Structure 1
Amino acid sequence: GEWDTKEFTEMRNNLLKELKINYDPINNEAIMEKLKSHEELLKDNNNEVILEQLKSHEKLLKENNEVIFEKLKSYDEKLGKLEELEKLLKEIRAK
């Protein structure tokens, strides 16, 4: 069906109120500008949140990499000791 002018005016006034526009513009430029600024703020806020999350994930990855590196060093040392023991065992068996 067709829109009732009263219904349309009421919706428009609610939108103006929601966007905190205190005057009734003749055209939709004020509404579009306000929506654009809200959209930009939302985009900026989302980008900031994403950047913070990336920094947090990067920090966690770095910490995890350090832990893994330390474990690898420890395993490498243990492997070296096992190889020494194996060499000594072969020498003992050879005698």
Structure 2
Amino acid sequence: LEALSDEKFEVRWLAAEGLIRIGRKAIVPLLEVLVNHSDSYWLREGIHHVLHDMNTGKITEVLRPVLVALEGLEPSLEVPLAAQAALDALIKKSC
């Protein structure tokens, strides 16, 4: 996850592609990082790439608000709230 905030594009891209290959198991850790570290532009951009690629099927309704927040005007403010709501929704669905 740390590599998503690397200054080098290639490192961020490889990290994102690796997380995409891990699949949905990576979603919760990604959302947790967004809740706590949404101030990093590079991190937000990398996580956006990963979540956008995973945004299919039933998970779409949970991830869409996070993606909208990542694309919004104030992502450093909006993203933590959207990510926490997504985490809460995922926890609720798993119960």
Do these two structures clear the TM 0.5 threshold for a shared fold by scoring above it?
no
TM-score range, shorter-chain basis?
0.3 to 0.5
Q: Which has the higher contact order (CA 8 A, sep 6+)?
A: 2
Given the two structures, how large is their TM-score scaled by the length of structure 2? Answer: 0.33
